[in-house]
Amino acid sequence: MEAPPDNDVLWARSLHFTHPDGSPGLSGVTLAVREGEILAVSGPRGSGKTTLLRCLSGLEPVAEGEIWFNSTPLHTLGPANRERLRRDRFCWIGPEPALVPELNAWENAALPLMLRGTSRRRAKTTALEWLERLDVGEAARKLPHRLIQSERQRVSIARALAPAPTVLFADEPTAPLHRADRGHVLRTLTSAARSHGITVLLATNDPETAALADRTVNLLDGRPVRTVHLPEVPDAEGRAACSISV
Amino acid sequence: MLDLRLTRAARPAVQLRRLLVAAASAGTGFLLLSCLGYALNHPEAAGSGALRLAWCGVPAAATVYLALAVARTDPGTRPRPGLSAIGLGPARLMVISALVTALSTLLGSLVALSLFLYLRGDLTKMPFDGAAASFLAAGKSLPLAATLTLLAVVPGVATGAVALALRPRDPQPVARPQRRYLPFVRQAGGPAVEGRTGEAEAGGAEGAPAGEDTPRARAGATGARPAPAPGTDETDGGAPAGLPWAVALVATGLTAQAYAGRTPPTPAFTFTAVPSGAGLFLLGWLLTAVGLILATPGLTHLCGRLLQCARPGALRLLAGRGLMAEATRIGRPLGILCAVTAAGYAMTTLYDAPARPFGPLSALGALVVAGCAFATLLTAAVETRQCRTETTAALLRLGAPVTVLRGAAALRAFALLAFFAPLTLAIAALAAFPLTR
């Protein structure tokens, strides 16, 4: 086994993944993520973006291929060690803000810190600072069901950023939002990541979102491609043949 | 056919829950048939027969409640958004739930009938050397219509209750006005109406009654939400209402018992022969039980609040807030279990040494009621777990250790046990005190 270059924080080689039901997931993805960069993983729905992020973050065990995180071979770790790594080094933002419904906003944001053993006072201070920075400081004491969707998503971003992770996995973080909220949320996310040197993997199928990243990797049917230009669809195949006037 | 296939293709745990419903229904059916047999054997003792039949209401109610809880947790009848288009919409799912319930309860009734006929000696000979002849009515022919009517009671009521509880409703959460018992709170400009999403989502049988769907309540759902006072943490959507009333009921019940126990030295009464002076006493017990059941959601909420007070860490925070959020769902079955336990404790104290021990039928009835109460509580716990699947998945994705989640669940269970066991025993001791003096 060959260790990856030093400046890559996350490195995957010829990653293959098949879903438990046998449907193909990834076929031969090789990818290197440098420290502190924002890498967009782009591609249409079903191209394997989420699967790639889940594999890289250790949520799914990899059958074939290698994943290295800072010279730790992720593909050889057991579930417990991957869970610890996820807790200590990684953070995840999903398309839905999966907040714990019975905790209010700042408690939600402070939860990962408290799970790592930080004292309550310090966790609260950090969480409140991040909520302030993401423009949801007003809502810090409200329960999630009293917030609107974009506020909830910003709380979940604060929750991901508060423990200062090494790598942040963002799986279509702006999918359920309108365009105005989308831009706001993305800008806060990217600027916070840049100012704190957090590496971000951003899965998106929106070219505008991908434009905010340093680099873009295009996926198509589970493998990286240079361009995603598909052949033009001829308009309404067989329309003439089926037309009743023929 | 579809519901038969859905019934068959379920996991063992689900089948076990349905079998529990069938067993409870069998026990209740057997008790009802025994009442019929007693009445056939003793046509002169109409009052005693009616009393026995009235006592059967308790196991029947417990069975229906269990059937309702099991139907709510049935994964085969969960809403399936993808299958709504092919006709498996909410209404059809409600029909399927009701049919599955009817199937399991009818199975139980059939078992009860077969057992009863078998014990009557129609097939072989009298059991227990003829000791049970008093309620089996061996020599008499069983009236068909009465038998069928009695056996149809539990399936009919359970099916109706399930259909009513799972009837299709709009997914939009129904706003329930916060009940305030002090009129001046409303006038003082306090938030009289408060949308409680958690409760409305949890809503099963306890959905908002029609009378509460006032324009004011609807305005509360859509209009301005009452903001919490600045500087205070909003920790919960609202405590379950009714704790003051429940405490008042318990106090009234205990007082009634004390009063009834004070005037005449009541002889130890049995299920089948209640002396005339014991009416007030029974009323007191009933009030205490109802009060205890009504008080439990509020007390569960209080228990969760106590668990998460004073600078909690992640474990206590998750455990306490979870308990506060699920107070109604867990609290009702827990209250019923507490009431049943208290009643059982009081009975054993009363029947201690001099009086005769439990007969076989009382033992069966007690077993059915206690088993149903316990199974309902476990089923409610399963329902809670099903509802929190997404939250648990999110926590695991955050990297929360599984030990923290299990520890939170264990802490919750321990807190409930530590809070409610002494309370139940105290109420039982108070309830039994006037009689044992």
Please check whether residue B424 lies inside any domain of the structure. Answer: yes
Q: Residue B138: its pLDDT value, please?
A: 65
Task: Indicate yes or no: CB of B399 within 8 angstroms of CB of A94.
Answer: no
Q: Residue B182: its pLDDT value, please?
A: 42
Task: Indicate yes or no: CB of A83 within 8 angstroms of CB of B399.
Answer: yes
Q: Residue B102: its pLDDT value, please?
A: 93
Determine contact: A63 vs chain B, CB below 8 A: no
Identify whether residues B138 and B283 lie together within a single domain. no
Q: Which amino acid is at B391?
A: T
Q: Residue B20: its pLDDT value, please?
A: 93
Chain B residues in contact with A90 (beta carbon < 8 A) = 399
Please say if the pLDDT value at position B128 is more than 60: no
Task: Indicate yes or no: CB of B394 within 8 angstroms of CB of A99.
Answer: yes
CA dist., res. A41 & res. A203, Å (int) = 5
Task: Indicate yes or no: CB of B391 within 8 angstroms of CB of A100.
Answer: yes
- Residue of chain A whose Cα is closest to the Cα of B391: A100
Q: Residue B66: its pLDDT value, please?
A: 94
Measured in angstroms, the CA of A169 and the nearest CA of chain B are apart by 11
Whole-number mean pLDDT of chain B? Answer: 76
B411 is written with which tokens?
């802490």
Task: Indicate yes or no: CB of A86 within 8 angstroms of CB of B399.
Answer: yes
Please check whether residue B197 lies inside any domain of the structure. Answer: no
Phi, psi of B403, deg, nearest 5: -65, -35
Q: What pTM value is reported for the model?
A: 0.77
Query: Which residue in B233, B322, B404 is closest to A102 by CB distance?
Result: B322
Q: Residue A44: its pLDDT value, please?
A: 86
Chain B residues in contact with A124 (beta carbon < 8 A) = none
Please check whether residue B208 lies inside any domain of the structure. Answer: no
Q: Residue B187: its pLDDT value, please?
A: 38
Identify whether residues B413 and B319 lie together within a single domain. yes
Greater confidence (B264 vs B111) lies with B111
Task: Indicate yes or no: CB of A98 within 8 angstroms of CB of B390.
Answer: yes
pLDDT tens across the length of chain A (246 residues): 555 566 788 888 888 888 888 888 888 888 888 888 899 998 888 888 889 998 888 888 887 888 888 888 888 888 888 888 888 888 888 888 888 888 889 999 998 888 888 888 899 999 999 898 888 888 888 888 888 888 888 898 888 888 888 899 988 888 878 888 888 888 888 888 888 888 999 998 888 888 888 888 888 888 888 765 666 666 665 566 555 655
B140 is written with which tokens?
């008499």
Greater confidence (A64 vs B203) lies with A64
Determine contact: A77 vs chain B, CB below 8 A: no
pLDDT band at B68 (very low <50, low <70, confident <90, very high): very high
Please check whether residue B370 lies inside any domain of the structure. Answer: yes
Nearest of A75, A65, A71, A80 to residue A30 by alpha carbon: A65
Identify whether residues B259 and B144 lie together within a single domain. no
Greater confidence (B417 vs B42) lies with B417
Please say if the pLDDT value at position B210 is more than 50: no
Please give the share of chain B, as a percent, with pLDDT higher than 70.
70
Please say if the pLDDT value at position B212 is more than 60: no
User: Per residue in A166-211, pLDDT tens?
Assistant: 899 988 888 878 888 888 888 888 888 888 888 999 998 888 888 8
Please check whether residue B411 lies inside any domain of the structure. Answer: yes
CA dist., res. A6 & res. A117, Å (int) = 30
Task: Indicate yes or no: CB of B321 within 8 angstroms of CB of A142.
Answer: no
Query: Which residue in A84, A103, A120 is closest to B311 by CB distance?
Result: A120
Measured in angstroms, the CA of B126 and the nearest CA of chain A are apart by 58
Nearest of A215, A183, A191 to residue A202 by alpha carbon: A215
pLDDT band at B60 (very low <50, low <70, confident <90, very high): very high
Identify whether residues B281 and B389 lie together within a single domain. yes
Which residues constitute the domain of residue B9? 2-165
Query: Which residue in B228, B237, B398 is closest to A115 by CB distance?
Result: B398
What ipTM does the predicted assembly reach?
0.77
Q: Which residue ranges form the domains of chain A, and what is each CATH number?
A: 35-61+79-220 (3.40.50.300)
Task: Indicate yes or no: CB of B228 within 8 angstroms of CB of A142.
Answer: yes
Structural domains in chain B (count): 2
Q: Residue B129: its pLDDT value, please?
A: 52
> What 3-state class would DSSP assign to A217?
strand
Identify whether residues B34 and B148 lie together within a single domain. yes
Identify whether residues B25 and B133 lie together within a single domain. yes
Identify whether residues B145 and B19 lie together within a single domain. yes
DSSP A48: S
Please say if the pLDDT value at position B100 is more than 60: yes
Least confident residue range of A39-48, B261-270, B315-324, B417-426: B261-270
Q: Residue B237: its pLDDT value, please?
A: 62
Q: Residue B22: its pLDDT value, please?
A: 94
Domain closes at, from B115, B132, B165: B165
Domain closes at, from B114, B145, B165: B165
Identify whether residues B154 and B272 lie together within a single domain. no
Identify whether residues B160 and B12 lie together within a single domain. yes
Chain B residues in contact with A169 (beta carbon < 8 A) = none
Q: Residue B418: its pLDDT value, please?
A: 92
Identify whether residues B283 and B161 lie together within a single domain. no
- The three-state DSSP-derived secondary structure of A71-129 is CEEHHHCCHHHHHHHHHHCEEEECCCCCCCCCCCHHHHHHHHHHHCCCCHHHHHHHHHH
Identify whether residues B273 and B372 lie together within a single domain. yes
Task: Indicate yes or no: CB of B197 within 8 angstroms of CB of A145.
Answer: yes
Q: Residue B139: its pLDDT value, please?
A: 66
CA dist., res. A198 & res. A194, Å (int) = 6
Task: Indicate yes or no: CB of B390 within 8 angstroms of CB of A141.
Answer: no
Total Cβ atoms within 10 A of residue B211: 6
Q: For residues B108 and B29, is the Cβ–Cβ distance under 8 A?
A: yes
Identify whether residues B158 and B246 lie together within a single domain. no
CA dist., res. B330 & res. B385, Å (int) = 11
Task: Indicate yes or no: CB of A99 within 8 angstroms of CB of B390.
Answer: no
Please check whether residue B202 lies inside any domain of the structure. Answer: no
Q: Residue B9: its pLDDT value, please?
A: 66
Please check whether residue B333 lies inside any domain of the structure. Answer: yes
Query: What mean pLDDT do residues B199-204 have?
Result: 37
B107 is written with which tokens?
């199975």
Chain A residues in contact with B390 (beta carbon < 8 A) = 98
Interface of B with A (CB under 8 A): 197-198, 225, 228, 232-237, 311-314, 317-318, 321-322, 324-325, 390-391, 393-402, 404
Least confident residue range of A142-151, B233-242, B385-394: B233-242
Chain A residues in contact with B398 (beta carbon < 8 A) = 86-87, 91-92, 111-112, 115, 159
Determine contact: A122 vs chain B, CB below 8 A: no
- Residue of chain A whose Cα is closest to the Cα of B392: A100
Residue A215 parent element (H or E): strand A215-220
Chain A residues in contact with B237 (beta carbon < 8 A) = 143, 145
Q: Residue B23: its pLDDT value, please?
A: 94
Query: What mean pLDDT do residues B79-108 have?
Result: 83
Please check whether residue B256 lies inside any domain of the structure. Answer: yes
Segment 125-154 of chain A within 8 Å of chain B by CB: 141-143, 145-146
Domain closes at, from B122, B140, B165: B165
Q: What is the dihedral of CA B321, B327, B333, B337, to 10 degrees?
A: 70
Please say if the pLDDT value at position B190 is more than 50: no
> What 3-state class would DSSP assign to B88?
coil
Task: Indicate yes or no: CB of B399 within 8 angstroms of CB of A146.
Answer: no
Q: Residue B191: its pLDDT value, please?
A: 39
